[in-house]
Chain A
């Protein structure tokens, strides 16, 4: 799997650069919703837990996996929900175009 590792490292490097570029331009007004959004996206880790639980390889793994799914899903649902609530609050005093 040697070549695969290098591919993954390329992707990681590119993603880091993209991350820096994109985040740099986020207005400081939105830093709080940014954090809750990135946290919700980060909960994509749930997919690892889903496969773990679905494969049913061992009871131990399944138990840990279910707890992991609960924790991550809570972040997904709660994170998007609260980010949306926050963004709804931002209104401009200028009339919208």
Chain B
């Protein structure tokens, strides 16, 4: 067999495995990224969605944060303006997580049957991350 052909087989193997790893990776680890409104629509259309993990992106309702420092638990509400969901999270939240000015959060977790998002991770993306706090 010619060198070129042999090489092409090797190349095809590499390209194939890259493709395979990517497709499998997306299938196994891909997570829905939803707004609260989309989350509401999903759960109405498909009740089994309660057990599926997802990420939801929205804003923290100002003043909704209840911290229990001793238990390292945080409860708050996340909203996109139209729909609002309560969230409960056990763990440490980042420094940028405050409800003083409407910060954006990404909450990873699942929705329990009572309609509360049980979060496994909370990321706070302060709109002013590298900028100063806008003055009121």
**A in complex with B:** no
Please report A residues at the B interface, Cβ cutoff 8 Å.
Answer: none
